[in-house]
Structure 1
Amino acid sequence: MIVRPATSADAEALAAIYGDAVLNGFGTFEEEAPSADEMDRRRRVIADQGLPYLVAEDAGRVLGFAYAGPFRPRAAYRYTLEDSVYVAPDAAGQGVGRAVLTAIIAACEALGVRQLMAVIGDSGNAASIGLHRSLGFEQTGVGRSVGFKHGRWVDIVHMQKPLNGGDGLEPDGPGVKLTGH
């Protein structure tokens, strides 16, 4: 398995993986699966900001993807990003999520990011919560019943990982230029 930057050639695979999460899971609160063109547009928005959007592939097949985007659009958040991770259903449990999230963390560190956030859909999402915890994220809160999907109320779990000294030091650079989501 290799981890590499996503390209427009990956749009169909990104749409298939994310579409499954939209239609069958609670990891995202989106309810209609976006097209490949829309997924590529979203990828470009992240990549055009100089932020990481990566895929894990094996034998030419994309097994999962992750990216780090702005946590919030206000200027004071410029040292904080939010990660998102999605894995093809038939690749779950094979280390795909760990591979792409580890690479995202390294890319965020290289950018000088101080805090990496995860906002995980569904407090019952043991795989994502466990993955983040195993890579040094700590749970910082739960938003109870903030979404309604597939006929039930769904929580979000906030997790956070300090990078580059976290808040123990003053920022030493300009931070990430925020251009929105």
Structure 2
Amino acid sequence: MTAHIRPATPQDLPAIADIYAHYVTHTVTTFDDTPLPLTTWRQRLDDLSALQLPFLTAHHANEVIGYALATPWRPKPAYCHTVEDSIYLAPEWTGKGLGRPLLEALITAAGEANAKQMIAVIADTGTPTSTALHLACGFTHAGLLTNVGHKHNRWIDTLLLQRSL
């Protein structure tokens, strides 16, 4: 299965919001507990554009089937060359080999935006999928934070992975 990957546009945001809402509502992949409104997604697109950081979408047959973005890791100036990645696929598109090209495109775009390090913060969902994807794309283990999140009546660890760009 192949997908076309390109920068996100305002027209992509409703589909992106829907994809993310699924993970907010049904999983512990994200620690958000309510779906983000479209206005938040518009602001995120504007903010990343102003910072020249990538916000990418994956499309198949003109349908948004996934997205990935790189956000500032921390707000302090010394962290300005370190980004955190986020990558989500529509649930019906997981397991089809689309995560890797999307993450690889994000890594390339973040490097072109002068980022030097990328951090992945991966919630312990009970499956190794996201960790395996990141390791396959050159990330290495950087740490484990135990019991730092609580969602859906369970405590959640987060794994930190890191990659030089």
Q: TM-score range by the shorter chain?
A: over 0.9
Cα distance between partner residues in 1 of 2:81 and 2:44: 21
State whether structure 2 residue 129 is matched by structure 1 residue 121. no
Would you identify which runs of 4 or more consecutive aligned residues in structure 1 move more than 6 Å?
none
**2:144 partner letter:** V
Tell me the SS of whatever aligns to 2:132: helix
Match of 2:135 in 1: 133
Aligned length: 163
32-41 vs 12-21, greater mean Cα deviation: 32-41
Cα distance between partner residues in 1 of 2:114 and 2:5: 21
- TM-score, length basis structure 2: 0.94
Alignment gaps of 5+ in structure 1: 164-181
Q: Deviations over 1:151-181 (max 9, x none)?
A: 1001111000012xxxxxxxxxxxxxxxxxx
- TM-score, length basis structure 1: 0.86
CA contact (8 A) 1:11 1:37 kept: no
- Residue identity over aligned pairs, in percent, reads 39
118-127 vs 6-15, greater mean Cα deviation: 118-127
Match of 2:105 in 1: 103
Aligned counterpart for 2:9 among listed residues 3, 7, 10: 7
Cα distance between partner residues in 2 of 1:125 and 1:53: 26
Tell me the SS of whatever aligns to 2:30: coil
> 1:1-181 residue pairs with structure 2 within 5 A?
1-122=3-124, 124-163=126-165
* RMSD over aligned Cα atoms: 1.2
CA contact (8 A) 1:8 1:40 kept: yes
**2:72 partner letter:** P
1:20/1:30 CA distance change after superposition, 3 Å:
same
